Structure formats: C-alpha cells, structure tokens
A and B are shown apart, each in its own frame.
Chain A
C-alpha cells in the first residue's frame, strides 16, 4: 500500500536551476494537489488537478508549472528556482474535489524538502 509517493525526498538547487518534483498515487483517485509548507504558515495550495486532463492554479502558483501526466501522476516543475521557493512540498490526492459524499480528506505523500541557495 504505497499510497502517494513523491520523489525526490531531498534536493538542493542553486538559484536559477530547474527541477521537477514527481508524484504518483495508486489509490485510483481523480484529484491531485501540490502544497508547500513553510514554518509558521499553514499548507498553501500551489496547483491542483481536479481530474485527469485538467489543472488549475491555487493560492501561490507563481514560479511553478504542473503536468497531470495520467490519472496516477502529477508533477511540479520549477523553471528557475529562487530562494523563496525553499520549502517542503507535499503532493496529495483525493477521490474527487466536490460532491455530497466526499468529505474533503486528503491523502498526503511524505514530502520533498527543497533548498534553493
């Protein structure tokens, strides 16, 4: 029961470098999300994909791009990393994003800790 798997777990980048965070889920969920977690702040939504083939911006999308490769995989790309993007990134999934029978539970990966120097 892998659940949500993120890679890499740790990464150090120099300012201006690019990288992609990978995320895969094996729960047959329709919806996937990318959050960032910073000290003293709640989790903030970067991008989400309500279903395969769709992506939408969250609260803090600037500097990021995403790709919903298929139903299982959702990647986050930093095109030109900045020190402000130093954070812990969490991928999450849920069966759907709305509906009477959906209670809003998210299933999180273990996180990817990114440091931009």
Chain B
C-alpha cells in the first residue's frame, strides 16, 4: 500500500533551537517528494522538492534530505523562529500518468519563545 508516515506527530522547541522532522514512505513508483508548510488557518505552501537523484537541498534555514534507498526524507530547521510554528506535510508524487499524490498526516511544530 502506498503510504507516507511522518514523525513526530507534534513537537515543541525553544526559539533558536534546531529540529528535524522525519518522513518515511512506501510509495512506488517514486517521482519526487515535496515538503509543504501549512500555517494555522492557511493552505499548504511548498518549501522544497526532492527528486530521486538529490540527497540534500537547502532553502534558507530549511534543509531537506532524501535517501531513496531507505525511502526516508528529513526536514531540518536551523535556528528556529516563532514564524516556523506550523504543520509540515510530506507529499510523495507517484511516477504515473496522472499526478497521483500521497500525503503524510503532517508534523505540528510549535516554536516557543
């Protein structure tokens, strides 16, 4: 079954600290993996995309990794800010004719002052 599992479900960290969110998937055939950030009461917004050949990609304080062999991805947030408080959703796209997306349930991050 095609699934995306994220951990932890929720996380509280102090402002300025780093954290890492995990995404494990069993989706096949794999096309790419995308991380979205969803602020409370808003729609998800894409942070970064990882393709099969990419291991690491940075977007400011966000760094995503992908291990296609173990089917794992992580999102590392450096020097967290209050504005990082949000849900982070991992989405895997299947390599099929139609855009089949498999969504994780998200990790809810709270950055505390």
- Over the window 83-117 of chain A, the binary record of Cβ atoms lying under 8 Å from chain B Cβ atoms (1 yes, 0 no) is 00000001010100110001111101111000000
List residues of chain B with CB under 8 Å of any chain A CB: 4, 31-32, 34, 41-46, 49, 89, 91, 93, 97-99, 101-106
Which of A50, A90, A104, A110 is the most central at the interface, judged by chain B CB atoms within 10 Å of its CB?
A104
**Are A108 and B105 neighbours in the complex by a CB distance under 8 Å?**
no
Are B89's CB and A43's CB within 8 A? yes
The interface residues of chain A, by DSSP majority, are classed as loop
Q: Name 16 interchain pairs, CB-CB below 8 A, sorted by A.
A: A31-B99, A41-B105, A42-B89, A42-B102, A42-B103, A45-B101, A92-B43, A97-B99, A98-B98, A105-B34, A105-B46, A106-B44, A108-B44, A111-B41, A111-B42, A111-B43
CA distance A92 to B99 in the complex (A): 13
Q: Is the CB of A40 within 8 A of B34?
A: no
Task: For the A-B complex with A108-B44, A109-B43 known, give 6 more contacts whose Cβ atoms are closer than 8 Å.
Answer: A42-B103, A43-B89, A50-B98, A103-B32, A110-B41, A111-B41
Report the separation of the CA atoms of residues A68 and B34 in the bound assembly, to the nearest whole angstrom: 27
**A94 & B99 in contact (Cβ 8 Å cutoff):** yes
Q: Does A24 lie at the interface of the complex (its beta carbon under 8 Å from any beta carbon of B)?
A: no
Given A42-B89, A42-B106, CB of A108 within 8 Å of CB of B45: yes
Across-interface contacts of A4 in B (CB, < 8 A): 43
Report chain A residues within 8 Å CB of B41: 110-111
Contact B49 A42 (CB under 8 A): no
Chain A residue nearest to B97 (CB atoms) is A98
Query: Of residues A43, A92, A106, A110, which shows the largest number of chain B Cβ atoms within 10 Å of its Cβ?
Result: A43
Inter-chain contacts of B43 with A (CB < 8 A): 4, 90, 92, 108-111
When A and B form their complex, which 10 residue pairs have the shortest distance between CB atoms, in order from nearest? A108-B43, A42-B103, A104-B93, A97-B99, A43-B103, A42-B105, A105-B46, A108-B44, A110-B43, A109-B43
Are B105 and A40 in touch, CB under 8 angstroms? Answer: yes
Shortest Cβ distance from A19 into chain B, in angstroms? 20
Chain B CB within 10 Å — which of A31, A41, A42, A110 has the most? A42
- CB B94 to nearest CB in A, in angstroms, measures 9
